[in-house]
Amino acid sequence: MKKNSKNNFSRRKLMKSVAAAGTVAVMPGFVNYSQASSSAPIRIGFQVHRTGIGAAYGRWYDRTTQAAVKIINDSGGINGRPVEIISEDDGTDPKRGAEALEKFANQHNCDVAFGTLFSHVVIGSAPRAGELKLPYFVVSEGHHVASGMLNRYTLQPGITDVKSQVQAMAPFVKDNLGKKVTMVYPDFAFGHDHRDYFSAAFEARGGEIIAKVPIPPTESSFSKYFPKIPRDTEVLYHVMVGPAVLTFVKELGEFYGSKGPKLFGFIDSVEAVDLNTPGLEFLDGSYFWEGNPRYAQDNQTDHDQFYRSAVGVDKNGASVSDPKDVSTYAHMFGCWETLHIIKKGMEESGYSNVKDRSKLIEAVESMKNMPLSQAHPQGAKIFNGKTHQTFGHQYITKMTNGKLVLAHTTSIEDTFYPDEVDYTKQSF
């Protein structure tokens, strides 16, 4: 077996590496990281849904992440050190997700792991992150972080969770659309959060959920589920994920035409889908929850403008290089914001190597107000260090002439609910 390289590090090798470092330092465009005690990069393991049912999200999470890292590195990196992203495809699969974390910790020597969206992958990976003592920053929306199901090493500081989102939607649906709701949702953890927390919040306001229609997230044809929607439904609440979302909305339009109930959907049902696809005309006039409005609105902030152009997204939420390549705009800001939070946490804790991981977590836990800024282009947020979950504004847009136009913005307080866990009491 090879000996530890530290022991046979010769003088010649040392000279070589000094010379190499010197060459790099004088190269044009090289950002000066000289303030740092070590200029080795901060390595962030990026668990990405490159394949499997989350691939469309993965593609845009990747673009957002690369854009954010470029901004961070161009302005001097973290603690004077450049950031390096190590990507691993998890196949949108919990088992592979856990394996990716293992690789980050043991093979790639990553400082932290980050990026996962699909809730079953988060739930499958987080226990391993706890065992590996690897800080795991998820961008998932699931209520599993704040519910207390996970551990001290798993945090969700850059995106709000489903429980807070649906709770803020319930009054709007009840007051503007109707009292009798049928819910259509994907049959796994993320959909169950919708089922449980929306129905609770809606019924608490005097509304009624008259039917619940779960659909497997791997389903490819949906018509057969629609007859289960009762005729007296006033509002159809729909949320769907996976590669077949376009088929889902198309078949919904085929089934109802213009005669159906009013529609309130989570943008997930049409995320990464071109809304001008033939067959989607029936969506006009329907409402959507959006984490971040896909179309640039009249009241667009400078921060959204900056973020949008940095990632390469046009005014309609599609790629600047291909108007057919529609982004997952309502979700992907979470990657941008999370990376900025990791930067801030590392700077506040004076993070230098993996031994400081617990200091980093404590630094993030102590964060509270995150004002609207370049680091938080989606809007201001309030982070709850005890539950490891962030809270923020939610947006409701109305489909008007093929575009989603902002109809309502909730306050941050609308999304609050009592704490269900205090992770800070768990030991590292």
Binding site for another protein (CB under 8 A): 50-52, 55-56, 58-59, 216, 219-221, 223-228, 231, 243-244, 246-247, 253-257, 272, 277-279
Nearer to another protein, 131 or 219 (CB): 219
Task: Catalogue the E-assigned strands of 280-413.
Answer: 287-290, 318-319, 322-326, 369-370, 381-384, 389-392, 395-400, 403-409
Could you report how far apart the first and last alpha carbons of the chain are, in Å? Answer: 34
* Chain position carrying tokens 């836990």: 365
CB-count burial class (<10 Å; 0-12, 13-18, 19+) for 428: exposed
Minimum distance, C-beta of residue 241 to another protein, in the bound complex (Å): 12
Rounded least distance, CB 283 to another protein, Å: 14
- Residue 266's contacts (CB-CB under 8 Å, 6 or more residues apart) are 165, 194, 238, 239, 288, 289
CB of 309: closest distance to another protein in angstroms?
Answer: 24
Tokens of 135: 């800080």
Least CB distance to another protein at residue 235 (A):
18
Minimum gap (Å) between residue 279 Cβ and another protein: 6
Residue nearer to another protein on the CB measure, 135 or 217: 217
- As a whole number of angstroms, the distance between CA 251 and CA 29 comes to 52
DSSP letters for 168-184 = HHHHHHHHHT-SEEEEE
Q: How far apart are CA 325 and CA 62, in angstroms?
A: 14
Q: Which residues pair with 399 in a beta bridge?
A: 404
**Residue the block writes with tokens 């090879």:** 2
Q: Report d(CA 294, CA 144) in Å as an integer.
A: 26
Structure-token match 């022991």, residue found: 7
Residue with smaller CB distance to another protein, 56 or 263: 56
Query: Which is closer to another protein, CB of 89 or CB of 161?
Result: 89
3-state class of 408 per DSSP? strand
The residues near 3 (Cβ < 8 Å, ≥ 6 apart) are: none
CB closer to another protein out of 126 and 272: 272
CA distances 37 to 17, 32, 81, 83, 410, Å, are 17, 13, 9, 15, 45
CB of 418 to another protein, least distance (A): 35
Residue number, 167 or 233, with CB nearest to another protein:
233
Nearest CA among 230, 247, 241, 299 for reference residue 265: 241
Residue with smaller CB distance to another protein, 247 or 424: 247
Angle at Cα 242 formed by Cα 241 and Cα 248, nearest 5°?
Answer: 70
Using the minimum distance from each CB to another protein, give the nearer residue, 97 or 130: 97
Residue type for 185, please?
Answer: Y
Nearer to another protein, 70 or 224 (CB): 224
Q: d(Cα 340, Cα 333) in Å, to the nearest integer?
A: 11
Smaller CB distance to another protein: residue 178 or 279? 279
